Structure 1
Amino acid sequence: MGRGDLTDAEWAVIGPLLPAGRGRWARPAGDNRRFLNGMLHVLRVGCPWQDMHERYGKWNSVYVRFRRWSEQGVWDDLLQTLVDLGLSDNWQH
């Protein structure tokens, strides 16, 4: 686990909220933690997707999952759930 990656406690809350399904060409949902850490890394450091650290996997695979989750409304649902659980005070930030 790299600096800034999700802790086991954070993952225990967030992991079950992410899509578990697997599409025809999709990677297994078991990669969700590594992919989410990659997404958060890109957002945290502000680097281009192509410069994402290799420990998170192929940048394009992480980006495709990020885009798919955005299109499916996963981020809005995730953040709303965190607000409902009292773990965040304003999901719009």
Structure 2
Amino acid sequence: MDRQEVSDALWERIEPHLPGKAGDPGRTGRDNRLFVEAVLWLARSGAHWRVLPKEFGRWHTVYQRFNRWCRNGVWERLFAALSDDADFEYILVDSTIVRAHQHSAGAPKKRSIRRSV
């Protein structure tokens, strides 16, 4: 698989904020970059964890690591560090975030009743 999700320049900004560096307590993941690319793939595709391509590893292992990073606040620290210089490369917006006007959402339109006299 060709790694195209995270550019080298972006990775240089992300890597210092991730767990698993020398001297960090606990276990370290074998490849943080591949893991971040897996999470970005899921976010962009909207796919379920179980259909994660095998190139990223076992879906359940990736899922457990994602949950561990959520519980430990890794994502919040990463987003806070990167939000100082936002380039909007990875912005995700869908209809659950942006409320549509009632007429564009398929609501029935009110019609006036004309009476003939």
Tell me if both proteins adopt one fold, taking TM over 0.5 as the criterion.
Answer: yes
**Contact 1:82/1:88 (8 A) holds in 2:** no
Counterpart CA distance in 2 for 1:82 and 1:88 is 9
User: Does residue 68 of structure 1 match 2:68?
Assistant: yes
Q: Which amino acid aligns with 2:56?
A: Y
Percentage of identical aligned residues: 35
Residue 53 of structure 2 aligns with an amino acid whose one-letter code is H
* Distance change (3 Å), C-alpha of 1:30 and 1:13: farther
Q: How many residues get paired?
A: 85
- Contact preservation (8 Å) 1:22, 1:29: no
Query: Structure 2 counterpart of 1:54, which letter?
Result: K
Question: What residue identity is the alignment partner of 2:45?
Answer: V
Runs of 5+ consecutive residues of structure 2 not aligned to the other structure: 93-117
Aligned to 2:9: 9
What TM-score, normalized to structure 1?
Answer: 0.78
Q: Counterparts in 2 of 1:5-84, with a 5 A limit? A: 5-20=5-20, 21=24, 23=26, 26=27, 28-84=28-84
Runs of 4+ in structure 1 off by over 3 angstroms are none
Q: Shift of the alpha carbon at 1:46?
A: 0.7
Q: Distance in 1 between matches of 2:25 and 2:66?
A: 15
Instruction: Write the deviation string for residues 29-58 of structure 1: whole angstroms up to 9, x where unpaired.
Output: 341111111111111101110101111111
TM-score by structure 2 length?
0.63
**Rg larger in 1 or in 2?**
2
The structure where helix makes up a greater share of residues is 1
